Amino acid sequence: MAGVIAALLASAAVVAPAPVRVLDRFDSVTAWKASASDGVTARVSADAGALRLDYDFARVSGYAVARRPLAIDWPANFALTLRVRGTANVNDLQIKFSDASGDNVWWVPYPNFRPSADWQTLRIRPRDVDFAWGPTADKALRRTAAVEVVVVRDRDGGAGHVEVDDLQLQPLAPPTPPLPPVASDPRALDRRRDTAADLARPLVIDLGAVREIGGLTLHWGKRYATRYHVDTSDDRRVWHTIRGVDQGDGGDDPLPLPGTETRYLRLTADKGAGSKVELAEVEVMPRAWSVTPNATIAALAKTAPRGTYPRGFTEQSYWTLVASDGGAVSGLIGEDGAIEVAKGAFSIEPFVIDGARTIGWADVRATQQLEDGYLPLPHVGWAGDGWTLDTALVADQATPRLLARYRLTNTGASQRTLTLALAVRPFQVNPPAQFLSQQGGVSPIARIAWDGSAMAVTSAPAIAGDAAVTRRITPLARPDTVVARPFDQGALATPAAATGAPAVTDPALLASGTMRWTVTLAPGASADVPLAIGDATPANRAAFDRAVAHTAAYWHETLGNVTLQVPPAKQAVADTIRTALAHVLMSRDGAAFKPGTRSYDRSWIRDGAMMGDTLLRLGHVAPVRAFADWYGTRLFDNGKVPCCVDARGPDPVPENDSQGEYIHLVTQLYRYTGDRAALQRDWPRLDAARRYMEAQRQSERTPANLTPERHMLYGLLPPSISHEGYSAKPQYSLWDDFWGLTGYKDAAYAARVLARPEADAIAAQRDQFAGDIHAAIEAAARYWRIDHIPGATSMGDFDATSTTMALDPAGEQDRLNPNLLRRTFERQYERVMARGAPGATWSDYTPYELRNVSALVRLGERAKANDLLDAYMADRCPAAWNGWAEVVGRNLRDHRFIGDMPHAWVASDFIRAALDLFAYEDVGKDQLVLAAGLTPEWLAGTGVDVRGLRTRYGTVNLRARTESGRLVATVSGNAAPPGGLVLTWPFAGKPGIATVNERHVATPNGVLHLPAGAATIIWRAAR
């Protein structure tokens, strides 16, 4: 170690600091201009030699900006400083830098920022600046042309102001080389010391220069200090205590010290800790080791025995949602059996102790299932050596609580004594690779206390100053032992241990607790441990069982509006339709539809409109009506429909599909309910959205866009980032245009229903827009020399999943270039099928692609549609839980962001795709097409029997099966589409004569037109 220290000292050459460059003294603020998003006000002014940005968020989300052109050539290493003060609520502060194009942006975000009344200095180093967005491939910070001070509405919003002064840039010498993990006999750490066995005097570590470190790991010998503290100093004269330990228990002590920059570290045992303690080794950890709590836990998990920490810290893990209808209660259960008790909260993880062996998730084979194959009541089963453990979780529909049940069973031939240990751990089931609105992984626990009947677990507040949240876990079977332990006692490494205290407060915010039950079981016998998680506790086991049975009955009824009987080989599809419906309903937040409950804590009109179509088809009108009413109050005054809404209010980001989606949502409600009065109430908002959209598309009908190079843009909606693939730079997305055209069509329909005087004008706008879209597609195909319909005409890219919107809901199938249309979906089919080929190199995809199943059904490709459906069904994970993540990876255990799981928008896409196999609306022809996706596999045996399926034309029932080579079908219901009902020939051979209600009908093209009402069909193959 002495050699290492010498080398570090040698590298610490003294370099004179470079002069500070004053970027802005703010003696004048004329170069600064204010701007704000829709509904937000912003103003800049001078205030006592500083820049003052006043803002008011009113009722919306959004941002207020102060911006000035300012060229900065960034040195490789620097310190950027500015002073900030103000009077404001908790919001986000962002310092942004953009290049000359304005497209590429770098930023330093300060989330949950509340400025103080006194000046505070923000010091920004290169590691603090991230590339935010933009199309550039070179994301290094080299030269920027403008600077922005931005206040973004976060939790509080409101009105306030921030002041900025003294923006300065100081070039710095290259940073001191980062310190690698250093492990050594501590006697060599300070050449004044000749022993490590006596901490009566401080032990000093000299890093050779001021360096940034991540922390220390202390390896104790047989005698250890129970109380000690760590100090830092740059000059060995002035010391600052940065970490104290008062409950040490020897072994290895990891001490995260995030953000520490120092030359000297001092370790001192407190008085009374004893002398002659044995500190065998000290490791100085690099910055990355503690840059976040998740980083520390991941590093510890990497070196610990597999199973010590949750799977998600070392490899990809999967889970499912357990929530009430409407989302009042929302937990997760992981594939390995851990339960997350609330959004972002701690988890309960099971262990089984068999003799001297502690068995966790890594030691068993886990299986998953749902009650009755589809109810949102999941189980995780463990198969051990002569025993099984079943973990079940229910979100009580009648009372806001979770109900967990653990059933330990002796499957052996002799009596067994086993211990069930339930560990309360400071980890979410939502793993650390998940982020966006909520970071997964660590969930800080400040205190755990057992009062003799319940365990109270207090989580640390996410924002300083907020109130802590305490949740209760009440076992209905009294544990034999209950203990709690702090992080400094190695609690995370021994989650099932029986040592500890009834209560503990942990300054490291990583407390753990364990409840243990020891049972002796005869062969075949079981022991149940029921838990109630929440403030309301069932009076006894009988009440617990009644609550579970009530919730199961609720979901049986709720998911049974449409009944679906299919051959056994297709049962998984039928079950997944029902489970996916539950996923949509459980992911709601009251009236708000949300794509998920963890990563996506906001409601999109895009998702909501498509979920609305799904729920209407399955007979659930009330949630759609509630969502439309709630979202309608969030529109901007100018008619702009916010892309999304969250607790902060409507989001101003322009996503130009939004207007069409809102119009479609409220118009579909009329189609399915016939509620003309509701449509009349919705009309002012509907028409405001249409008028806003009309101004948008007219802005692109300019002579400049009639040139050959830009004709592909003429008359389209302006570029936006509604398509995730265009987030780096807005594009002319046909997704926007197909939704916009849907909005025009639905607005024209609503205007006719309401006898509005502008009905003819809206119809003319609709037709003009449709013509412009088709002309732009043809122009783009020529310009980009492509054989498919592009995702964005400005890029000529391929995105069949976006193109599906042209067929449904836009209904433009018959107007599209048939060659481009055919090739678009041929190519998508080829891509999906190639994923299963040997040597395939794809990384991941999003199951929104399920919409391509519907497209192929509409194109008459029933076999290919079922191939795709089978491929997507194989990617449910775990398959028995009938859900998809937003992102599906080729290698299931590779760490990646996978979005919410289940993902409710994906679930709704699946439902619509699966239902289209049985019946779909051809809105271009005003027809209802039946059985277009059914293959002989669906019609085998007793075939299919679908009852109660809703459409915009009414309800339809379909029974169909194969009998002696014939199609035997019965159609009933009150559906009466203007273009009639159509049944398509499902077999490979040519169709022959059909008998409809005992009358012979010729079917030369394989299409059978049916009368409204009941019909009995026998359809033979041609001879």
- What single-letter amino acid sits at 512? S
CA dist., res. 253 & res. 244, Å (int): 12
Per-residue pLDDT at 17: 63
Residue listed under structure tokens 């679930």 = 907
Nearest to 292 by CA among 322, 260, 268, 258: 258
CA dist., res. 146 & res. 876, Å (int): 46
Per-residue pLDDT at 223: 87
Range in 465-469, 763-767, 791-795 with the lowest mean pLDDT: 465-469
Per-residue pLDDT at 590: 96
Nearest to 430 by CA among 276, 598, 570: 598
Q: Are 657 and 991 in contact (CB under 8 A)?
A: no
CA dist., res. 476 & res. 454, Å (int): 9
pLDDT tens digits, 96-153: 999 999 999 999 999 999 999 999 999 999 999 999 999 999 999 999 999 999 999 9
Neighbouring residues of 515: CB distance < 8 A, sequence distance ≥ 6: 421, 422, 424, 455, 473, 475, 479, 481, 482
CATH of domain 21-171: 2.60.120.260
Neighbouring residues of 661: CB distance < 8 A, sequence distance ≥ 6: 605, 606, 608, 609, 610, 641, 739, 742, 743
pLDDT tens digits, 528-579: 999 999 999 999 999 999 999 999 999 999 999 999 999 999 999 999 999 9
Please work out, in degrees rounded to the nearest 5, the angle formed at the alpha carbon of residue 335 by the alpha carbons of 334 and 340. 10
Q: Are 752 and 679 in contact (CB under 8 A)?
A: no
pLDDT at 837 over 50: yes
CA dist., res. 443 & res. 306, Å (int): 21
Q: What is the mean pLDDT of the chain?
A: 93
Domain 919-1021 belongs in CATH node 2.60.40:
yes
Whole-number Cα distances in Å, 235 to 210, 265, 286: 10, 11, 21
Q: Is the dihedral of CA 703, 707, 710, 716 positive or negative?
A: positive
CATH topology of domain 568-900: Glycosyltransferase (1.50.10)
Q: What is the largest CA-CA distance in the chain?
A: 107
Give residue 557's Cα distance to chain centre. 29
End-to-end CA distance of the chain: 91
The DSSP string of 670-734 is HHHH--HHHHHHHHHHHHHHHHHHHHHHHTT-SGGGGSTTTGGGTTSPPPBS-SGGGSSS-B-BH
pLDDT band of residue 199 (cuts 50, 70, 90) is low
CA dist., res. 23 & res. 95, Å (int): 14
Nearest to 686 by CA among 726, 743, 606, 729: 743
pLDDT at 11 over 50: no
Q: Are 434 and 599 in contact (CB under 8 A)?
A: yes
pLDDT at 307 over 80: yes
Q: Are 720 and 659 in contact (CB under 8 A)?
A: no
Q: How many CA atoms lie within 13 A of 385 on its CB side?
A: 10
pLDDT tens digits, 858-897: 999 999 999 999 999 999 999 999 999 999 999 999 999 9
CA dist., res. 45 & res. 29, Å (int): 7
Helix axes 734-753, 676-698, angle to 10 degrees: 140
The reply to whether 919-1021 shares the fold of 311-558 is: no
In 3-state terms, the chain is what percent helix, strand and coil (to 5)? 25, 35, 40
- What single-letter amino acid sits at 973? G
Beta strands at 927-930 and 981-984: parallel, antiparallel or unpaired = parallel
Per-residue pLDDT at 156: 84
CA dihedral 63, 587, 693, 924 (to 10 degrees): 160
Range in 268-272, 551-555, 793-797, 854-858 with the lowest mean pLDDT: 268-272
**DSSP state letter for 510:** B
Nearest to 882 by CA among 892, 872, 890: 872
Per-residue pLDDT at 177: 67
pLDDT at 175 over 90: no
Per-residue pLDDT at 200: 61
User: Is the pTM here over 0.85, yes or no?
Assistant: yes
pLDDT at 6 over 50: no
CA dist., res. 363 & res. 384, Å (int): 8
CA dist., res. 615 & res. 326, Å (int): 14
pLDDT tens digits, 364-407: 999 999 999 999 999 999 999 999 999 999 999 999 999 999 99
The mean pLDDT value for 217-245 works out to 93
Please work out, in degrees rounded to the nearest 5, the angle formed at the alpha carbon of residue 917 by the alpha carbons of 663 and 990. 130
C-beta atoms surrounding 1000 within 10 Å: 8
CA dist., res. 498 & res. 512, Å (int): 12
**DSSP state letter for 501:** B
Q: Based on the number of CB atoms within 10 Å of its own CB, is 451 exposed (0-12), middle (13-18) or buried (19 or more)?
A: exposed
- Residue ranges per structural domain of the chain: 21-171, 179-291, 311-558, 568-900, 919-1021
Per-residue pLDDT at 188: 41
Bridge partners, 312 (sequence order): none
pLDDT tens digits, 37-64: 999 999 999 999 999 999 999 999 999 9
Q: Which helix (H) or strand (E) holds 554?
A: helix 541-558
pLDDT at 183 over 80: no
Q: Which helix (H) or strand (E) holds 83?
A: strand 78-87
For 608, list phi and psi in degrees, rounded to 5: -65, -40
pLDDT at 1013 over 90: no
CA dist., res. 646 & res. 831, Å (int): 36
- 763-775 burial: b if 16+ Cβ within 10 Å, else e: bebbebbbebbee
Q: Are 927 and 981 in contact (CB under 8 A)?
A: yes
Nearest to 158 by CA among 250, 60, 77: 60
Domain 311-558 belongs in CATH node 2.70.98.40:
yes
pLDDT tens digits, 473-504: 999 999 999 999 999 999 999 999 999 999 99
For 148, list phi and psi in degrees, rounded to 5: -135, 140
Q: Are 311 and 364 in contact (CB under 8 A)?
A: no
pLDDT band of residue 949 (cuts 50, 70, 90) is very high
Where do the DSSP E strands lie in 172-296?
Answer: 182-184, 203-220, 228-233, 240-245, 252-269, 279-285
Q: Are 311 and 338 in contact (CB under 8 A)?
A: no
Q: Are 392 and 368 in contact (CB under 8 A)?
A: no
Q: Which CATH class is domain 179-291?
A: mainly beta
The mean pLDDT value for 607-625 works out to 98
The mean pLDDT value for 600-606 works out to 94
Cis-peptide into 293, omega within 30 deg: no
pLDDT tens digits, 917-932: 999 999 999 999 999 9
The DSSP string of 428-475 is -SS-TT--TTS--SB--EEEEEE-SS-EEEEEPPSSTTSPPEEEEEEE
Q: Are 258 and 286 in contact (CB under 8 A)?
A: no
Give residue 783's Cα distance to chain centre. 37
CA dist., res. 480 & res. 474, Å (int): 14
Per-residue pLDDT at 280: 86
pLDDT band of residue 1 (cuts 50, 70, 90) is very low
CA dist., res. 815 & res. 745, Å (int): 15
Q: Are 366 and 360 in contact (CB under 8 A)?
A: no
Where do the DSSP E strands lie in 771-884?
Answer: 844-845
The mean pLDDT value for 415-423 works out to 98
pLDDT at 186 over 90: no
CA dist., res. 137 & res. 122, Å (int): 29
CA dist., res. 517 & res. 537, Å (int): 20
Per-residue pLDDT at 671: 98
CA dist., res. 656 & res. 659, Å (int): 7
